[in-house]
Amino acid sequence: MRRLAPLCALLLCACACASVLPPASVGGAPAPPVVPWNHDWVRGAVFYEVFVRSFQDSNGDGIGDLPGLISRLDALNDGNPATETDLGVDALWLMPVFSSPSYHGYDVVDYETIEPDYGTAADFQRLLDEAHRRGMRVIVDLVMNHTSAQHPWFIESSASPRSPYRDWYVWRADDPGWTQPWGGTNRTWHEKNGAFFYGLFWGGMPDLNFSTPAVREEMKRIAAAWLRRGVDGFRLDATRHLFANGPGDLQNDQPETHEFLKEFAAHVRGVAPGSVLVGENWTTTPIIARYYGAPETIAGGDELPVSFDFPLATAILAGVKTGEASGIAAKLAEIAALYPQGALDAPFLTNHDQTRLATELSGDPVKLRSAAALLLTLPGAPFLYYGEEVGLQNGVGTKDEFKRTPMPWDASPGGGFTTGTPWFAFAPGQDTANVAAQTGDPASLLSWYRRLIRARKASEALRTGTLSLLTPAGRSTPVLAFLRESANERVLVAHNLAASAVEEGPFDLPGSAAAALLATDGAHLEHGEGGWRLRLPAGGSGVWRLDSLKGRAAQEPGTK
């Protein structure tokens, strides 16, 4: 169990950390003013998740690096809204780029230096400058829950019970036998020098002790340092596990976790109110909703302003696989009911911990297009996983490395990724699932993603508007239909997940004319007796701007 450190240990810790911690506040000083978030840029923005090791190698060693990523920025967003040859994303999420002994970087040994495989501090600064010049923001993974067992803090902490860093980690005299809360038999307490430390994921990644004030202050200081260097926010890894008060569910979602995240968010807002925090809370919708905190204190919530929507991702994947839209509608209705007013959702399809979308959907081009259209017409800040836009498959194994294979830029042996030997083998399907093969093809998946993102940017309602379901959550249907509405625009969005064409309607909506912002071949909307009627081909999608905002119903269900 994590508990406050004894006073003597805190005093020792304070002495040891004087060079890295800011001065303590004076007792009795007035509370700092409440600073709101000022990150309107996030609402509607399209984020792109990058594993630097697998994106682009610049020096032929087979390992992706920051100079390589910089060389590919124009493919993601060239900074010119008039061009159509870039993907058009608004922000990058970089998986861990801090020094680490592992390929993945989730066991950090130094939170303030760039992983040498990836480059230097100067390379990172140039990446920020070049991304910002093109209008892209950059957020980075901040792995607060744990460090590497090779981190100097842990080496010192494990050396002696009298170490000033002892209470930076969680120690006890015995192993209570807790296992990981998501199932299985893997234990979470690990022996070192005659005592046991808590490491939720494995013994190589000991959990930090956030009951120790010096740990809290150090993480806040580190975050502030990177914000001042120019990063636009953080993706927070494993946020629901920051505190553990016992086995099973007591290793998740503890009250102390929420208290610290409020403290951390307030600190980040104070340093850079235009930045963003995105939480990884892999759990159910009601629990995720609680991580937004109190909207009456801060607009959108005083805790995490954005959380990844794992349940919605599951619902989208299931709906696209089965051709059944009611589960997606039910999940959207639940989000509307439980999330705070104004909360920012982060929908996605898959990420670096999951089997890739193209493999889940057996490479079906119609289903891949449907999934993309669903994601990019939803509210919030959608996240794409690198390679999804070309249908990148999983590798042939089940290890995490097979979910994070090199980006296929072309069909050559090095894939356009490297002139050397790639650090890991390319996934199957590289001959067609690559950027070069799809760039010139208007019918390709890549071209579809580009069109979807351009349509999203061209529509105020798609970017920032509310969502009102037209599809009932309690009735089986292959069609997901909803309205997206802003102050100046109303659009009708419809997706047919079935393997055959469908007709849907009438919908009693205002207006008698519509303009297609985006529609697959054969998708049609017309106004007639009784209202609007839809015709959608198999796997078809359409987005239509309605010609009037007058005559709104007195009451409309809507999501935030």
Q: Which residues are catalytic?
A: 237, 280
Round to whole Å and give the CA distance between 44 and 336.
Answer: 17
Round to whole Å and give the CA distance between 288 and 232.
Answer: 23
169 contacts: CB under 8 Å, gap ≥ 6: 153, 154, 157, 158, 197, 198, 206, 207, 208, 209
Sheet with 195-198: list strands edge to edge: 171-172, 195-198, 189-192
DSSP for 484-533, written as a single string: EE-SS-EEEEEEE-SSS-EEEEEE--S-S-EEEEEE-TT-EEEEETTEEE
Round to whole Å and give the CA distance between 166 and 16.
Answer: 12
Element (DSSP H or E) covering residue 346 = strand 344-346
Q: Beta strand 276-279 with 344-346: parallel, antiparallel or unpaired?
A: unpaired
Residue 109: which of 67, 71, 74, 153 has the closest Cα?
153
In the chain, the amino acid numbered 253 is D
Please say whether the dihedral angle defined by the alpha carbons of residues 274, 280, 285 and 287, taken in this order, is positive or negative.
Answer: negative
Place of tokens 């239509």: 544
Residue 70: which of 139, 110, 103, 118 has the closest Cα?
118
In the chain, the amino acid numbered 519 is A
Q: How is residue 344 written in tokens? A: 């920012």
Q: How is residue 170 written in tokens? A: 């969680």
Q: Beta strand 514-519 with 541-546: parallel, antiparallel or unpaired?
A: antiparallel
Question: What is the phi/psi pair of residue 484, to 5°?
Answer: -115, 125
443 contacts: CB under 8 Å, gap ≥ 6: none
382 contacts: CB under 8 Å, gap ≥ 6: 46, 47, 346, 347, 348, 375, 376
Round to whole Å and give the CA distance between 540 and 525.
Answer: 12
End-to-end Cα separation, the chain, in angstroms: 37
Round to whole Å and give the CA distance between 466 and 487.
Answer: 10
Round to whole Å and give the CA distance between 424 and 407.
Answer: 11
Residue pair 505/532 in contact (Cβ under 8 Å)? The answer is yes
Please say whether the dihedral angle defined by the alpha carbons of residues 439, 444, 449 and 451, taken in this order, is positive or negative.
Answer: positive
